[in-house]
Chains A and B, each alone.
Chain A
Amino acid sequence: MAAQESEVPATTPGIEAVAAVARRLLPEAGVITDRARLRTYECDGLAHYRVTPALVVVPEDAAQLAAVVRACAEHLVPYVARGSGTGLSGGALPHAEGVLIVTSRMRAITAMRPEDQRAVVEPGVINLDVTRAATPYGYYYAPDPSSQQICSIGGNVAENSGGAHCLKYGFTTNHVVGADFVTADGDTVALGGAAPDSPGYDLLGAVVGSEGTLGIVTSTTVRLVRLPEEVRTILVGFESTDQAGAATSAIISAGIVPAAIEMMDALAIEAAEAAVHCNYPDGAGAVLVIELDGASVEVEQEYAEVERLCAENGAFEQRLATDPVDRALIWKGRKSAFAAVGRISPDYIVQDGVIPRTALPQVLKAIADLSSSSGVRVANVFHAGDGNLHPLVLFDDAVEGAGEAAEKVSGAILDLCIEHGGSITGEHGVGMDKAKYMPRMYTDDDLDTMQMVRCAFDPDNISNPGKVFPTPRLCGEVPGRHKGAHPAQEAGLAEVF
């Protein structure tokens, strides 16, 4: 699966005008036009798509960022926002004729207000740094993608990326209450606020998870969550994923909502062991990482019940983390699983799909069948509590046809998710990578209706164009009527999938 690349056009209309505005307002280091340096921004975490942007700007504050967007709007130059570049769906893939706006220098936590359970942060702030800043006050920021040590809040907001603790605490959209937002016109507006239930349409609810296609958030007011009185992290070994799945169901059916239930299968365990020596149970066909939190009395009771339910469902080893170091090691194994797979396979695709949790046994079996019939190995590591799968499809790009076979298996897994009433993404986003799958999940009418939102926010389609939707409707079109080729297709602006 060779990297897909496009060349920068010799002349890009409008880009010089935008660059001139940027040079006037930003420090020299914040405006990048040198081709070699531009290439360092040619992909995000999904490296098999590569596009060199025409211009990269690195604003230091919201005013500079808004001015660049305003210049883009004036000259109809497309732009893409990028935080730390950890996204796994190509959401921050640059536009060859556009500007990449990098928020990594907007890194201030501008307010920490534990008394109001709020923090105000710039988009380049690293997710884990919010928790680090809130912890001395007895608070933390609940959304915790596996990349939380490097991913930015701006990226989390754009992708609505959640993490292990979504099961109990909800994902990013449940923790973002307000934002300063730069529209595709370059205007700055306040969405939501520090207090709940701002009057008017919940535009913030539409913006979170819109993958940068509606505009750019330059400041976010987030909800802080009280650190629990007690946390118990348990590592449980099973012989099979079926047993681990049954234990998960038993826990949920008992009315227990753990802070997290994560599952890894044998291949994922092997990878994690090879990378971080996390000392998971020997010979396990599956492990669960279960975290309980809350008031001590209740956690104690829930722990006893979870231990019993796991044993009843075939657990052969249960290990309670006895100190923070032990707990961190258990989580390290889980959170490093994606990267760790590189130790057992030269190349891999990280897939991200969701199923209703009760469908886990059937879907895992179907994935195993797909794997054996195609000869493509699949490692499973996922959020078992909420059905968010992350199959890691392994291949060797040096072997002819292996990449295509892996892509095929990866797509078939998404089809399985849709068949079972699930989703093609639970936290990584649609981005560039999955736009072609959107019509499998949604009808034309559903997608047209979503496009109405984009047309309201970005009628000229300059904010991260080409992402999320396979065939963007032009904003002057009457929705719901399709005749002949799409105008964008005819103009060579979009591909019909």
Chain B
Amino acid sequence: MSTGTLDRTAREAIASACADVHDPQPADHVDGVVPGLVARPADTAQVAEVLRAATAHGLSVVPRGRGTKMTWGTPPAGADVLLDVSALDQVLDHAAGDLIVATQAGARLRDVQDVVGRGGQRLVLDETVPGTSIGGLLATNTSGPRRVATGTARDLLIGITLVRADGVVAKAGGRVVKNVAGYDLGKLLIGSAGTLGVITDATFRLHPVPAAHRWVHAPCDDPAQAQRLAQAVVHGQAVPSAVEVGWAHGHGTVSVLLEGREDGVAGRTAMVRALLGETSTDADDAPGGGSTYPWELGATGDDRATALKLTFVLSGLADVLAAAGETGVALRGSAGAGVAYAAVPAGTPVEAVAATLARLREVCTRHGGSTVVVDAPAGVKAGVDVWGPIPALDLMRRVKDQFDPDHRLAPGRFVGGI
């Protein structure tokens, strides 16, 4: 799929808005769609200029952070301009005494962690995709094991600067944790796949880096047992930072992360080992080599697995694991939060993927959640219902129409063709 090239006038308009523009290279393709031009603005003002120029010339714009998840979602219907915010890479302010950090959207999560880590603090968001930017993390709403303790970006983001489709720059929230003045636009932008606006900077609340951590792992070989173990920990007094589950070929592991003071972690490790039984072990290392997803992140094209995100209430875990077992998919995720990821192997026929998806979607829906296709080869995305049923879709469309009436931003990348 290709959107073709930009006409000369439009190209000149974008080039005058932003000094750094270039023709697309293969690495700039967006899930098979070839952009007309790549613009790499230097700051928020240039992002606004690019969007104003795009509006004036009727161009579609797909935002990009560090490009680590460009095949996620559905392919864009157009990408006249690929708006690359990677030059906005500065960590703007670490106010350690106030436990906050302000950072530009193109900064990598790990760079932010380096800066705040020097002050003994951390942004409690797991880097589930290596190299991810803050903007990309927000646009895709990724989260990892530690969401059990402090939630997701939704719970930590306290302020944003965004550029609207018409090029107007707006702020919402601020620099204090507690602020209820006006609408919480940050929440609307999180997980919106770049369809409502381009985030150029973000402010988060931080937490102290714990002095110690320990993982406790317990093998289990039936879904009901996995649920029992997870529930024992969740409803106990161990205050876990993560309760993970890995499942493949009918058996798996429940893993619990304990973080805090040295003595406290030691005590709670013993507490969790007692809960999980004699076969449990403890170690410094995360399960699965620390990877959150059961698929190969580096795979491209049709070599990609079909990557699924499953959500469910905590008591649905056993049924979800059983369904994963029936359909033969590997599954990994947060048993303590009700979020898991599954991978249907690359090369699986579309009909079989659709059947697996339907089965998992049925069980997740029954347990209050959903199943969405995070990433998949083009043929699979075209042949299955990527998002599944979306309640309140009409309201979502009305929000999109307000923010981006011409549907210029990341068109078609999101639910319901938004």
Contacts and interface: CB of A to CB of B under 8 A. Distances in A.
Question: Is B one of A's binding partners?
Answer: yes
Interface of A: 113-118, 138, 159-162, 166-167, 170-171, 173-174, 181, 183, 189-191, 193-206, 208-210, 226, 228-229, 249, 252-253, 255-257, 294-295, 297-298, 301, 354-358, 383, 386-388, 421-430, 434, 438, 441-443, 445-450, 452-457, 468, 479-480
Nearest to B260: A298
A205 B179 contact: no
A209 B309 contact: no
B180 interface: yes
A195 B364 contact: yes
A161 B181 CA distance: 11
Contacts of B316: 195
A226 B403 contact: no
Which residue, of B169, B182, B191, B207, has the highest number of chain A Cβ atoms within 10 A? B182
B314 A196 contact: no
Contact of B391 (A173, A190, A210): A190
Which residue, of A196, A206, A454, A456, has the highest number of chain B Cβ atoms within 10 A? A196
Interface in B156-193: 162, 164, 166, 168-172, 174-188, 190-192
Contacts of B339: 195-197
B23 interface: no
A113 B313 contact: yes
A257 B207 contact: yes
A255 B116 CA distance: 13
B239 interface: yes
B326 interface: no
A426 B367 CA distance: 35
B172 A446 contact: yes
B154 A202 contact: yes
Given A201-B396, A295-B268, A116 B183 contact: no
Nearest to B121: A255
Given A202-B187, A228-B237, A195 B370 contact: yes
A181 to B, nearest CB: 8
A208 B400 CA distance: 19
Interface of B: 95-100, 120, 141, 143, 147, 151-152, 154-155, 162, 164, 166, 168-172, 174-188, 190-192, 196, 207-209, 211, 231, 234-235, 237-239, 260-261, 263-264, 267-268, 271, 309, 311-316, 337-339, 364, 367-370, 372, 387-388, 390-396, 398-403, 414-416
Contact of B97 (A206, A256, A357): A357
A457 B313 contact: no
A206 B399 CA distance: 11
Contacts, number: 273
A226 B235 contact: yes
B40 to A, nearest CB: 24
Given A174-B155, A387-B98, 14 more contacts: A116-B368, A160-B184, A173-B187, A174-B151, A194-B313, A200-B393, A200-B396, A206-B184, A209-B184, A253-B97, A257-B207, A356-B98, A425-B181, A449-B164
Given A196-B338, A357-B97, A173 B315 contact: no
B16 to A, nearest CB: 21
A223 B261 CA distance: 27
Contact of A423 (B100, B178, B188, B398): B178
B171 A446 contact: yes
Given A202-B188, A446-B170, A354 B176 contact: yes
Contacts of A257: 207-208
Given A196-B311, A295-B239, A423 B396 contact: no
Contacts of A166: 177-178
A195 B188 contact: no
A497 to B, nearest CB: 15
Contacts of B391: 189-191, 193, 198, 200
B185 A201 contact: no
Nearest to B391: A190
Contacts of B312: 195
A116 B192 CA distance: 27
A475 to B, nearest CB: 8
A249 B97 contact: yes
Nearest to A167: B177
A114 B170 contact: no
Contacts of B162: 449
Which residue, of A199, A208, A298, A388, has the highest number of chain B Cβ atoms within 10 A? A199
Contact of A357 (B98, B147, B184, B235): B98
A295 B95 contact: no
A199 B310 CA distance: 10
Nearest to B368: A194
A205 B180 contact: no
Q: Which 6 pairs between the two chains have the least Cβ-Cβ distance?
A: A205-B187, A195-B369, A194-B368, A255-B208, A298-B264, A423-B179
B239 A294 contact: yes
